[in-house]
């Protein structure tokens, strides 16, 4: 009986995706734990830490598909962690060889390494989804780089811009998110195998040898030192997700505001019934935007919870570690949902250039008052020009006249700027500054994975890891 939106048969695809649910499912968690236990036995058998024939038996007989989840739950409820119960079942599967399972390991070694493997797969999905949003935004920019619209500051019309420029600002955030993702990999894809108190004392002088072999077996890095209670890297992962979803929510907020009836400049893709009201047939609500904004709010709260987890006591935390079990999977689920909704919204965004131009004309030219002021300032100085144009703006606003009408009435203006020049100045399309050059710079910003964006061999390897992140759940 589901009790949260992440599990609900009604809401689960609004606040997650099937792929991300699979990655963090009980079945996948147990399968990864079995994989890690088998990998540990394999390398220890190869190194002579445990008998080689026992290692072969463990590899042959340990089977995640045969785990009894009801029994595992009962023992987890008793012990507080699932690994003891899992090892008990695996030991029965492996017969006499089972006594060599989990040799020198502690529960958190297995659980942390499982989590890293899940993060590796989940971040691969996030990277793919970010690339899709990048493509959708790039398409919007190329289509609308010359579509003039009003830029707004403090929710008021400010100066002209283009919709392509606005989308390029959005793209810049997504490109930075993709770079941050790459930069995370070397700090996060690290094995955990350190024993009961982090010293690997149970393996004598061979602990680091086993640790390095296990890391290589799982295609993970070796830590410089135990990270049982050094949780900054995991907190960084969720704070990265919080930053990413916050960027998506900024885009969603802009689109939702543009969908307002009084603005009507852009709309989420239309589908019969989508965004409708149960009582108001005319409604077209910004459903994707709302879900993105809600997901981002949730992930920001989980980011705080993960930071709490960094404040861990001594060599094994009493509570902060368990808080990660709540925050981390749900952060990935909510982020995946926000990315899916963003791709859906941006790939089919309906843009109305005519309404954008109409809204530009609402103030009768006041939106380009700065253009007139700067042109006039060349003759009489900025402060004097400001006062003259300000007076014309106030008169236009009070009378309902267009700005050019009031400007033409002022000899101090027409003495320097004739009517053709004034008409040129009050055309919003002529006051776009460096919009096109900045769009080009945003589009040419290196994407994650481009050779020019990699600053080290570690980042290069990370880019490859993003591309080749595991796509299937292990069964053994």
Is residue 474 domain-resident?
no
pLDDT in tens, 252-274: 999 999 999 999 999 999 776 55
pLDDT in tens, 39-56: 999 999 999 999 999 999
Question: Among 113, 123, 64, which Cα is nearest to 466's?
Answer: 123
User: Catalytic residue at 277?
Assistant: yes
Is residue 85 domain-resident?
yes
Banded model confidence at residue 178, pLDDT cuts 50, 70, 90: very high
Whether the CB-CB separation of 323 and 234 falls below 8 Å is answered with no
| Confidence (pLDDT) at 451 | 39
4 and 127 co-located in one domain: no
Q: What is the pTM of this model?
A: 0.90
Strands 266-267 and 350-351: antiparallel
Is residue 271 domain-resident?
yes
Name the residue with higher pLDDT: 27 or 467. Answer: 27
Look at the chain and report how many structural domains it folds into: 3
Half-sphere exposure of 266 (CA within 13 A, CB side): 26
234 and 207 co-located in one domain: no
| CATH label of the domain that carries residue 143 | 1.20.200.10
11 and 143 co-located in one domain: no
Compute the Cα dihedral for 209, 212, 218, 224 and give only its sign: positive
| Confidence (pLDDT) at 10 | 86
254 and 380 co-located in one domain: no
User: Catalytic residue at 154?
Assistant: yes
Banded model confidence at residue 448, pLDDT cuts 50, 70, 90: low
156 DSSP β-pair partners: 153
CA–CA distances in Å: residue 41 to residues 57, 69, 88, 94: 10, 23, 15, 12
180 and 32 co-located in one domain: no
Is residue 476 domain-resident?
no
Range of the domain at 413: 366-425
Among the residue ranges 51-65, 301-315, 428-442, 459-473, the one predicted with the least confidence is 459-473
Whether the CB-CB separation of 277 and 269 falls below 8 Å is answered with no
Is residue 182 domain-resident?
yes
| CATH label of the domain that carries residue 386 | 1.10.40.30
**Residues 355, 266: Cα–Cα separation, whole Å:** 9
310 and 407 co-located in one domain: no
60 and 177 co-located in one domain: no
| Range 231-243 average pLDDT | 97
173 and 237 co-located in one domain: yes
pLDDT in tens, 61-101: 999 999 999 999 999 999 999 999 999 999 999 999 999 99
23 and 49 co-located in one domain: yes
Q: Among 65, 277, 455, 468, which one carries the catalytic annotation?
A: 277
**Residues 318, 325: Cα–Cα separation, whole Å:** 13
3 state SS for the chain: CCCCCCCCCCCCCCCCCHHHHHHCCHHHHHHHHHHHHHHHHHHHHHHCCCCHHHHHHHHHHCCHHHCCHHHHHHHHHHHCCCHHHHHHHHHHHHHHHHHHCCCCCCHHHHHHHHHHHHHHHHHHHHHHHHHHHHHHHHHHHHHHCCCEEEEEECCEEEEEEEHHHHHHHHHHHHHHHHHHHHHHHHHHCECCCCCCCCCCHHHHHHHHHHHHHHHHHCCCECCCCCCCCCCHHHHHHHHHHHHHHHHHHHHHHHHHHHCCCCCCCEECCCCCCCCCCCCCCCCCCCHHHHHHHHHHHHHHHHHHHHHHHHCCCCCCCCCHHHHHHHHHHHHHHHHHHHHHHHHHHHHCCEECHHHHHHHHHHHCCHHHHHHHHHHHHHHHCHHHHHHHHHHHHHHHHHHCCCHHHHHHCCHHHHCCCCHHHHHHHCCHHHCCCCHHHHHHHHHHCCCCCCHHHCCCHHHHHHHHHHHHCCCCCCCC
Q: Among 3, 139, 144, 154, which one carries the catalytic annotation?
A: 154
Query: C-alpha 395: how far from its chain's center?
Result: 48
Q: What are phi and psi of 207, to 5 degrees?
A: -60, -50
| CATH label of the domain that carries residue 9 | 1.10.275.10
**Residues 196, 132: Cα–Cα separation, whole Å:** 43
Q: What are phi and psi of 430, to 5 degrees?
A: -95, 5
74 and 166 co-located in one domain: no
Is residue 475 domain-resident?
no
Is residue 122 domain-resident?
yes
156 and 124 co-located in one domain: yes
Domain boundary among 222, 237, 267: 222
Domain boundary among 176, 205, 222: 222
186 and 39 co-located in one domain: no
Question: Among 424, 316, 436, which Cα is nearest to 375's?
Answer: 424
Is residue 37 domain-resident?
yes
């Amino acid at each position: 009986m589901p009790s949260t939106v992440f599990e609900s048969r009604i809401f689960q695809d609004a606040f997650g995706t099937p792929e991300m649910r699979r990655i963090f499912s009980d079945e996948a968690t147990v399968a990864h734990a079995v994989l890690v236990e088998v990998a540990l036995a394999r390398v220890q058998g190869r190194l002579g830490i445990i008998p080689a024939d026992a290692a072969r038996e463990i590899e042959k007989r340990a089977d995640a598909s045969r785990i009894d989840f009801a029994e595992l739950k009962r023992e987890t409820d008793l012990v507080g962690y699932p690994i003891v119960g899992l090892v008990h079942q695996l030991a029965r599967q492996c017969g006499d060889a089972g006594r060599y399972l989990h040799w020198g390991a502690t529960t958190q070694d297995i659980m942390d390494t499982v989590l890293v493997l899940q993060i590796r797969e989940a971040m691969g999905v996030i990277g793919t989804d970010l690339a899709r949003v990048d493509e959708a935004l790039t398409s919007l920019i190329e289509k609308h780089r010359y579509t003039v619209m009003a830029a707004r500051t403090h929710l008021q019309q400010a100066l002209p811009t283009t919709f392509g420029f606005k989308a390029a600002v959005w793209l810049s955030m997504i490109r930075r998110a993709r770079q941050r993702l790459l930069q995370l990999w070397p700090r996060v894809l690290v094995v955990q195998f350190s024993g009961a108190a982090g010293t690997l004392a149970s393996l004598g002088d061979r602990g680091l040898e086993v640790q390095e072999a296990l890391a290589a077996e799982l295609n993970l890095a070796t830590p410089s030192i135990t990270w049982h209670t050094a949780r900054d890297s995991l907190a960084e992962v969720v704070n990265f997700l919080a930053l990413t979803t916050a960027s998506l929510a900024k885009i969603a907020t802009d689109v939702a505001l543009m969908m307002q009836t009084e603005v009507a400049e852009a709309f989420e893709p239309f589908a019969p019934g989508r965004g409708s009201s149960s009582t108001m047939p005319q409604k077209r609500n910004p459903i994707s935007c709302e879900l993105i904004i809600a997901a981002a709010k949730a992930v920001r709260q989980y980011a705080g919870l993960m930071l709490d987890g960094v404040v861990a006591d001594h060599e094994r935390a009493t509570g902060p570690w368990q808080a990660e079990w709540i925050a981390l999977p749900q952060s990935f689920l909510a982020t995946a949902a926000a990315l899916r909704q963003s791709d859906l919204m941006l790939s089919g965004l309906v843009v109305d250039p005519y309404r954008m131009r109409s809204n530009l004309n609402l103030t009768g030219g006041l939106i380009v008052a700065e253009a007139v002021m700067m042109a006039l300032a060349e003759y009489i100085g900025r402060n004097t020009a400001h006062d003259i144009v300000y007076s014309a703006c106030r008169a236009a606003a009070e009378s309902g006249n267009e700005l050019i009408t009031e400007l033409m009435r002022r000899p101090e203006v027409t003495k320097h700027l004739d009517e053709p020049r004034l008409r040129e100045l009050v055309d919003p399309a002529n006051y776009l500054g460096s919009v096109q050059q900045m769009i080009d710079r945003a589009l040419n910003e290196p994407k994650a994975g481009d050779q020019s964006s990699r600053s080290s061999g570690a980042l290069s390897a990370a880019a490859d890891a993003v591309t080749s992140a595991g796509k299937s759940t292990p069964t053994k």
